[in-house]
Structure 1
Amino acid sequence: MLRKANRLKKQRDFKKVYNRGRSYVSDLFVMYVYHTGTPAVLCGFSISRKVSKACARNLIRRRASEALRDIVTRLRPGTHLVFVARKDAAGADFGEISRCLHSLLKKAGLEQC
Structure 2
Amino acid sequence: MKKRFRIKKNEDFQFVFRKGKSFANRQLVIYYVEKPGQDHFRIGLSVGKKIGNAVTRNRIKRYLRQAFQELDSSIKYPYDIVIIARNPTKNMEYEEIKKSLIHLMYKERLLKK
Q: Same fold (TM over 0.5)?
A: yes
Structure 2 contact 41–79 (Cα < 8 Å) conserved: yes
Deviation for aligned residue 1:55: 0.7
**TM-score, normalised on structure 1?**
0.94
The more displaced of 87-96 and 68-77 is 68-77
**Could you report, residue by residue, the CA deviation over 1:26-81 in whole angstroms, capped at 9, with x for unpaired residues?**
11100001111122200110001111311100000001110110212321111000
Structure 1 contact 3–69 (Cα < 8 Å) conserved: no
**1:69 aligned partner:** 69
Confirm or deny that 1:97 pairs with 2:97.
yes
Deviation for aligned residue 1:5: 2.8
Structure 2 stretches lacking a partner, 5+ long: none
Measured in 1, the distance between the counterparts of 2:58 and 2:16 equals 22
**1:54 aligned partner:** 54
Measured in 2, the distance between the counterparts of 1:73 and 1:42 equals 13
3-state DSSP of counterpart to 1:88: helix
Structure 1 consecutive aligned stretches of length 4 or more whose deviation exceeds 4 Å? none
Number of residue-to-residue matches in the alignment = 112
Aligned-partner residue type, residue 87 of structure 2: K
**2:78 aligned partner:** 78
Confirm or deny that 1:6 pairs with 2:2.
no
